Amino acid sequence: MLSEEFIADLSRARIEPEMLPDGRLNTYALACCLYETINQGIVPASVAAFQRIVEDDEGFVDELNEYYPDDRKGQQVDLGLDTRERDILKEILALHFAGRNWPINMDREGTMLEFAEKMDAALKKEGWDFRIKWDHLGERVPRH
């Protein structure tokens, strides 16, 4: 079941199934990517803007279309990506918005804080929302 906060995030991103744009990335793969992104605390300004960023990586799109096909007849449909694809998606977004890789758990606190501030500023500038929970950094992380 989707949380009220997640549904509110979908609403803020103005996402409705009939609004999913046509592109190289199939609808199911796009929905899985969108689900993971919003679950990470990043709410796109629009589905089309999000899709353009993801579709810039043609190899990733091909991989997603292969492993997350639209034709799911007789199969359980779950939103979300496997760990590898989720990590690639985070890297794509981090490189696009912050110009650097997504920090890993072992990165220094200052590195994570700098990344969070860069992401927040870049996402805000393009009308996106960024609410990643960096509990160990406390109140120093930008909050909307």
DSSP assignment of 49-98: HHHHHHHT-HHHHHHHHHHS-S--TTS-------HHHHHHHHHHHHHHHH
Give the pLDDT score at 133. 62
Calpha distance 71→47 (Å, rounded): 21
Q: Would you place residue 122 in the very low, low, confident or very high pLDDT band (cuts 50, 70, 90)?
A: very high
The Cα 21–Cα 27 span in angstroms is: 8
More confident residue, 78 or 83: 83
Q: What is the phi/psi pair of residue 42, to 5°? A: -110, 120
User: What are residue 43's DSSP bridge partners?
Assistant: 129
Q: Name 71's Cβ contacts closer than 8 Å, sequence gap at least 6.
A: none
> Which domain range does residue 42 map to?
4-69+77-140
The answer to whether residue 29 scores a pLDDT higher than 70 is yes
Q: How many domains does the chain have?
A: 1
pTM: 0.77
Confidence of residue 39 (pLDDT cuts 50, 70, 90): confident
Q: Give the CA dihedral 112, 117, 119, 121, nearest 10 degrees.
A: 180
DSSP 25: S
